[in-house]
Chains A and B, each alone.
Chain A
Amino acid sequence: MALDIAPKRLPVPEQSAEERIKNFNDVVIGYSIEEAVAESARCLQCKNAPCIKGCPVSIDIPGFLKAIKEKDLEKSWDIISKYTNLPAVCGRVCPQEKQCEGVCTVGRIKGYEPVSIGKMERFIADWKAEHGSKVAPKVPEQTKGNVAVVGSGPSSLTVAGDLAKMGYKVTVYEALHAAGGVLMYGIPEFRLPKAIVRREIENIKALGVKIETNVAVGRSVTIEELQSHFDAVYIATGAGTPHFMGVPGTSLNGVYSASEYLTRINLMHGYEFPKYDTPTKESEKVVVVGGGNVAMDAARSALRLGAKSVQVVYRRSLEELPARIEEYHHAVEEGVVFNWLTNPVEYVGSETGNIVGVKCIRMELGEPDASGRRRPQEIKGSEFTIEADTIIEAIGQGPNKVLLSAFPELKLNKKGYIDADPETGQADPEWVFAGGDIVTGAATVILAMGAGKKAAEAIDKYITEKKAAGK
């Protein structure tokens, strides 16, 4: 098949590895208008558009790409913003290789790469913020009902924005002092600049959504108060409680959960201490445990804080690495060293209680486990020690207990997450809806947004029917 398009995607300008490890700025610089127009011309405008089905919030991808190709950027923005409230975020952090770009028709042709959909989404959102018209969005009068949203991460922001557009009065309660959830405290500045998160949140507030920070629902506001003031509640408090492996030495000084390490840096600006008051420790030799995106973020942050060496230990191999492949490549370019098939068994401390090394054991892959991945098993007698003054554990998170313990009537599943209908997000009791990581366990930003999208429709239906029935 001869196609009249470039087989390779247009490379995206990036900061060089040597330069970027000295700063926390966005690694990817992004397309210029000319580059975006050229890349959008690679879209075949497929009738069946598999990319739309690959996107959890079903953005009209051929539509917004066509508008870019025609240089009608306002139109492109209008199309995209119908489907998503967080395009600058998703364009940056979605694992597109497993979603829209993974099913792109162009990418399925031998020798061709898929269209750079994520980078184009990011381009149009950034263009709109810098150059687009600043007319306030038209929002209907908010008279259809009152909805409370608990948590202000991506799932919550999606529900809030969508319900406001439908005519609901929405109040978002956030426990931390800044809205955005994992977008603010978890994902680092160099992957997702916080100014961009704040900008997208301002766009959602412009729809009439009220965001109240410093409110821990379950403690600052009771469940009874929620029920009496609102027609429905959406709970998206995430999976924010860090797990520890529990090996000996876990409480030595210098051992962190990735959640703590990243919160100090991202939310509290620890990398700007003492201009900001929250300190981070200077490290020379850092070991990160785990292989997900959180592990990549922690490792790359440690380099930027000046660590001389950063090693990742992961109990499986590259093939099973759950992190985004782009982030793994970035980490390698920046000098992060990977120890495959390796697991810590003990953190070794000095007499003064500081970490000095991590004793590890080599692993081999056995039979596939319930998840279908080959189960790592220890190789007896293969222990060795890596010197380290800082350990960061990034082995996963569980549901946050503050709200759940205050709400014993709420039905949970066996794993302790909220038991909600996968299609509607409706939970038990029926006035409660839930979505994102508090239902699925730790997953991705876009899946949390997809859940929010479905829940917004279900909440609208629930309240409309309830009011019609005169309740």
Chain B
Amino acid sequence: MYKIISKKLVVPKEFDVWVEAPRVARHVKPGQFVIIRTNPQGERVPLTVADYDREKGLIRMIFQTVGKTTAEFADMNVGDCLTDILGPLGTPSEIKNYGTVLMVGGGVGIAALFPIIRALKEAGNKVYTILGGRTKDLVIMKEECEKYSDELLITTDDGSAGKKGVVTDAMVELAERGVKIDQSWAIGPSIMMKFASLKAKELDIPMFVSLNPIMIDGTGMCGGCRVTIHDQIRFACVDGPEFDGWGVNWNEFMNRMRQYKDEEKMSLEKYKAEMGEE
């Protein structure tokens, strides 16, 4: 079970894989995630489901190698099996016809944004999408997102594609053009979601963000993933992962993400040494 069916490198350090997980494929909805374990000594890590094929029982995950577990996943080949996949987990995105929606994605977060874009388009929304990255190559899934967007804007830090700048610049541009947004989503690096939320508040646009704190069980049993939203403690794995971006305590959230930085670094270095890398 949980066999890797296909795997490709999308951009450096980002992988696009399809894996057998029939129960997840049958029930998953946009906005939900899975917890995986690569091996019997492995840790449990959350990954968003980027797409699914209900008939074939497959789910798609796009992930960036950031530590030991993702590095190990990246080193696995077609035909290899993950030890565990649990899901779908989390509360699905609220999909309905809002009117006009704005979808903001950055980095590997675009993979999590994609199924929501598609579902919102299918629900009859007018969809504006902004994708951002440091350089041209890091803006993934452009064609797929474009297919379900009425307008797609791209921003890059170095100007190698689209507009030079960051996603909030494109948000301002849309506002200046007089585009009226009824609901928005931002999914990407924490810092991007923070500034997108601040900008959305300034522009008076409601915004959901998808938080990715440290998780262990992913089923509401431990509170490791707790976040503060409008001064209330919530568990991202069951109450989220999507929350009102205006209400997130971003400093606390980003601080909690750094809790195991030293241990994570040590684990990755040990793995690399064992694999004979660097």
Give the interface of A toward B (CB within 8 A).
Answer: 175-177, 185, 213-216, 219-222, 240-242, 244, 246, 250-251, 253, 256-257, 259-260, 263-264, 268-269, 273-279, 281, 352-353, 400-402
Contact = CB atoms under 8 A, between A and B. Distances in A.
B87 A219 contact: yes
B86 interface: yes
Contacts of A268: 43-44, 216
A177 B44 CA distance: 9
B16 interface: no
Interface of B: 23-24, 27, 37, 41-44, 68-69, 83-89, 216-217, 219-224, 226-228, 233, 238, 249, 251-252, 255-256, 258-260, 263-264, 266-267, 270
Contact of A277 (B42, B221, B249): B42
21 contacts: A177-B44, A177-B84, A213-B84, A219-B87, A219-B88, A242-B221, A242-B223, A250-B233, A251-B249, A253-B259, A257-B222, A259-B222, A268-B44, A274-B263, A277-B42, A277-B69, A277-B267, A279-B264, A279-B267, A281-B260, A281-B263
A142 B233 CA distance: 47
B161 to A, nearest CB: 36
Nearest to A177: B84
A339 B264 CA distance: 35
Contact of B221 (A240, A251, A256): A240
B220 A401 contact: yes
Contact of A402 (B220, B224, B227, B255): B220
Contacts of A281: 259-260, 263
A215 B23 contact: yes
B54 to A, nearest CB: 14
B68 A400 contact: no
A259 B219 CA distance: 12
A214 B226 contact: no
Contacts of A278: 43-44, 216
Shortest 3 CB-CB contacts between residues of A and residues of B: A279-B263, A260-B222, A277-B43
A391 to B, nearest CB: 13
A281 B259 CA distance: 9
Give chain A's interface secondary structure class. Answer: loop
B84 A251 contact: no
A175 B218 CA distance: 10
A277 B220 contact: no
Contact of B252 (A177, A251, A279): A251
Given A242-B221, A274-B266, A277-B69, A220 B86 contact: yes
A360 to B, nearest CB: 21
A242 B222 contact: yes
A402 B259 CA distance: 27
Nearest to A272: B41
B267 A274 contact: yes
Given A222-B27, A240-B221, A242-B221, A253 B256 contact: yes
A12 B263 CA distance: 40
Contacts of A273: 263, 267
A284 to B, nearest CB: 15
Question: Counting chain B CB atoms within 10 Å of each CB, which of A216, A260, A264, A277 scores highest?
Answer: A277
B223 A257 contact: yes
Given A220-B24, A273-B263, 5 more contacts: A220-B27, A220-B88, A263-B221, A277-B69, A281-B259
Question: Counting chain A CB atoms within 10 Å of each CB, which of B37, B83, B221, B249 scores highest?
Answer: B221
Contact of B89 (A219, A257, A275): A219
Contacts of B226: 244, 250-251
Nearest to A259: B222
Question: Counting chain A CB atoms within 10 Å of each CB, which of B219, B226, B260 scores highest?
Answer: B219
